[in-house]
Structure formats: C-alpha cells, structure tokens
Amino acid sequence: MTEAEDRKPQSDEARSAFRAPTGNSMTQVQLIPVVHPSDGESSTTSEFALPEGLAVPRPGTEPETTSEFALPEGLDVQQPPAAEPEGSAFSPPSTYSARQAPPAFTPPGGIPAVSLAKDVPWQDRMRTMLRMPVAERPAPEPVQRAEEGGPAVPRVLDLTLRIGELLLAGGEGAEDVEAAMFAVCRSYGLDRCEPNVTFTLLSISYQPSLVDDPVTASRTVRRRGTDYTRLAAVFQLVDDLSDPETHVSLEESYRRLAEIRRNRHPYPGWVLTGAAGLLAGTASVLVGGDLIVFVAAAVGAMLGDRLAWLCAGRGLPEFYQFTVAAMPPAAIGVALNVTHVDVKASAVITGGLFALLPGRALVASVQDGLTGFYITAAARLLEVMYFFVGIVTGVLLVLYFGVKLGAQLNPDAALAMSQRPVLQIVASMLLSLTFAVLLQQERSTVLLVTLNGGVAWTVYAAMHNVGGISPVASTAVAAGLVGLFGQLLSRYQFASALPFTTAAIGPLLPGSATYFGLLAIAQNNIDKGLVSLAKAVSIAMAIAIGVNLGSEIFRLFLRVPGGASAAGRRAAKRTRGF
C-alpha cells in the first residue's frame, strides 16, 4: 500500500464498526497482519484478533489455560431445560395428552365402585351418578357408538336440552329432569357434564377435561302442557338411549323427538270436557251427593271447562281461566238453593272444585323442595298459589252474590256427610279414571291408576271415618301408599311415576275444606273461614309430602347400583350429605 493510498480516506464499507472516530486523541489501533500458512498472504483483521504468539492450544493436545472459576475436568453439569413460554392458566401443558391423561387424584375416603346394572332403571342409575362429585364419577364406556372423530358436542347438548324441555313442561320433577339430561349425555360419551334445571330455564355445561374449555348451552321453557302420553314417550326414548344393547344415533334420536312433538293428544277435546264433568259429578257423590247433584255438578264443570277454553283462545292468563272455570259450578249450586230444590248445594260446588284444584303442580313443587331444588319449588308453589287465588276469587264472587240474594248455604253441612262405603269407593275409582283422562295418560296406565285411587280412598276412609283419626294424618298415610305403589308400577314398566300417582290422589284433594272456608268468608265469618282454609292447605301439603315419602321409602329398599347396601345411598343434592 503506497503512501498516497494510505492517506486516502476509507469508505464506510471498509471502516470497522469498532474503529475510533477521526480526530480522537486516542492512538489509532493498527491492524495486525496475520499470515495464513496455506497461502502465505496476509489478511487484515480487527483489533480483537489474537496477537501473534498468543495461541490457545486445542483441547486434547496441550493443557488449556483457565481461571480459578473454571470447572475441573470430569465434572459435567447438566444444563437446565429450557423454560416453557408463558401462557394462559387454562392452556394444557406441553407434556399433557387428553387421551393418555395421568391418573386422577384419589380422595382419602376412596372412590366408590359403581356398576350401572342393566336391571336398574335409568332414573336410579343417573340419580346415583348426579349425587356424586364430578371427580368421583366412574367413566364407563359410552353406550351409543360415536361417529369418527368423536361425538358432535353441540348437537348432543341440543338434543339433551330438548328432551329436558319436554319433561319439565310435562310436570316432571327437577331431579328426574336432570337425571334424564345426564343419561342422554353419558349415552353419547359426554361424561363430564353438569345439567342444571330451574322453573323456566334449562342449562348444561360439558368440559372434556380440567384444561379444556367448557361448552355451555341453555334453553328456555315457555309453554307447559299436561300430556302424560308424550311424557311416557320421552321416557322410553331416554331408556333406549341408556340401553347398551340398543343403538340410537343422533339423527334417529332427533327423528323420534320430532315425532313425539308432532303426535296428537290421545283424547279429543270433547272427551276432555266430558271427563271434567264426570270428575265433578263423581266428586260430588263422594262427598254425599245424589243423582241430581251428580248431574248439576257435571253440567257446571263442563260449562266451566268450555269457558276456560274460550278465555285461553283469547289469550287470557291462566289466573283468569281458573277464575272463570270456578264460577259455573258455584252458580248452579247457588241457583238450586235459591229455587229451594232439595239438594246439597255444597256437594255441587265441592264437586266443581275437585276438577280445578292444582294437585299435580302441588305435588311437583313439594317434591322439588324436598330434593333440594328450592328455586324451582318456590316458583311452582307460587304458581299453585296464583291458581288457588283464582279459584277462590271465582267462587267467592258467586257466593257473595248468592248470600245477598238470600241463599241459605250452611257451613255446618260438612258435619252431616253420609257414609256410603261401597258407593264412595266406586266413585273414587271413577274419579281417578277421569282424572287420568284429563292428564292425557296412555290407555294402558288408566286401569292401574284407577285401582291405585280406589286403594287411596279406602285407606283414608278406614282411618278417618272408621278409626276417627284426623283427616291430615289419614290423608298423609293414604298419599304415602299412592307414592309407594306408583313407584312400584313405574319400576315395573321402566316409566315415570307421575302417571301412576297424580291421578290417584284425586279423591284425596281438599275440595270440601276449600269450599266451606270460602263460604264462611263470604258470610263474614272470617276466623272460621281461615281455619277451614288452613285445614285445606294442611291436607294439600300432606298429600304432596305423603306421595314423596312413599316414593323415597320404596327407594330405600331398592338394590343400589353396584350391589351396595341401601345404607350407602347418596343423599339428594344440596343437602348436608348424610
């Protein structure tokens, strides 16, 4: 390199990034030429190049010069693994596999062995599973064969909600609705699911594992209808889904569910109207009426039923429908008394009340309360109260104007009720039969519920009329037998217990106590009227509690799934867990 070239300023590409800027007082660092042994030419290096003579020997050839902090030879330290990138708390770890998950934590008390036996109804199997914590539930093989890639979770949840909607709208208890929803999910392999039922809202949540995102769906129940034939069909569908020997695909389940929704009621409207009249007539005979009373009560009930249908067609709420339906029987009874016809007007009015008292809703509300579904129970009790107030309003209006017109209605007529055992037993059975028709039950269940109603009245009359026991205690025992036999019949046919119990409690409804309480209030005898109404409420609660207690007593002696004793049966949800 010549002297002129040495004075020539270098370009930016040739200038080192670590070279001191021009004009610095520091001494310029000269580049040290390094001669390559291969070609003998020199190359320009930076100031960080090792000077000549300071060559570090390679390992294995000459001892390496190290500091006092260097590790001795032979002491290898394992390098720590690289840390995982920071993520969400719900994201699965890189070493986690859902298909090969590690064993779950075992509680100190152990996990009970539960075997879902085929000879146990699905209601008891699913109720047993629901009363266990999610971590303790066994995970059996799915009943239905899932499609390739796993079940369609949103469609399974939608099918579950639609089935639960039909059951809840038909008057089924909240616990049985949850059991049915849980059975549908498990049949398609969705094990970690949690159904939740309230009075108007159904929801279900499914979470594949603790680290996967949950899927939640809900459905609102806006309309209710009494059709126990449809209820039995839904129970049969759930039973087929829970049966490991019966394969029902999702498409087949949707098709059957659509058929259940489209099916017409088993009885036409004129049959229902005639059944309402026959129910009121037999109820009037049950409390001491004769043939004229039977006809008058039947005509009044049929007129009330038609007026209620007319109000429903005009969009009036059910409160006004009950108010209008209660007026014709009361008006006919008052008219017979004003015209001095020698009949028991009280029996006519009482018979009309039997066809209107909401016994089904009352039993369902008390059942939900006893099983821990307090929100649903409170809502159903409030609904029963509104219906009862509507009936009271309609009857009180007629009785008030009847008293003003000079009707001689005697509140003490209840003490002079005639005792006709054979005729009353026949009337009670006929009352249960007509009640079953009003509830749209299957024809195969009508005969059984008729016999159950006759047994209920026989036990009540033997305890109260013959034994002199209080009507509340007699009603509770009779209703307990109704619930016990209803559970027995439902287990025999793998169906719901409602069709075998609801109509059978018809002869026990407190129609007489309700009427005489309203009559006393209309005659300005408030204290006596409130006492009689309190007696009616006590009898109604005795019916509901007796039915539920009879069902629970029957379940106590059932064989628990898995072969365990009855003492190991789980308590209902949201209780203290005894």
Question: Three-state DSSP class for 151?
Answer: coil
Instruction: Tell me the Ramachandran region of residue 366: left when phi exceeds 0, alpha when psi lies from -120 to 50, beta otherwise.
Output: alpha
pLDDT, residue 566, reads 41
pLDDT, residue 159, reads 92
Question: Domain spans of the chain?
Answer: 122-262, 269-568
pLDDT, residue 367, reads 81
Distance, in Å, from the CA atom of 391 to the CA atom of 356, rounded to the nearest integer, reads: 8
pLDDT, residue 26, reads 47
Question: Three-state DSSP class for 172?
Answer: coil
For residue 477, the tally of other CB atoms under 10 A from its CB is 20
pLDDT, residue 51, reads 62
* 559 Cβ contact list (under 8 Å, min separation 6): 117, 120
DSSP letters, 230-274, are HHHHHHHHHHHHH-TT----HHHHHHHHHHHHHPPPSS-HHHHHH
pLDDT, residue 223, reads 78
pTM for the whole thing? Answer: 0.68
pLDDT, residue 458, reads 92
Strand arrangement, sheet containing 215-220: 193-197, 201-206, 215-220
pLDDT, residue 127, reads 59
pLDDT, residue 48, reads 60
pLDDT, residue 343, reads 78
Mean pLDDT per 10-residue segment, the chain (578 residues): 51 49 48 49 56 57 57 62 53 54 50 50 60 55 51 86 90 87 87 86 86 86 82 88 82 89 81 89 85 90 90 87 91 86 82 82 82 86 88 87 77 59 89 89 87 91 87 90 86 78 87 82 84 87 86 68 43 44
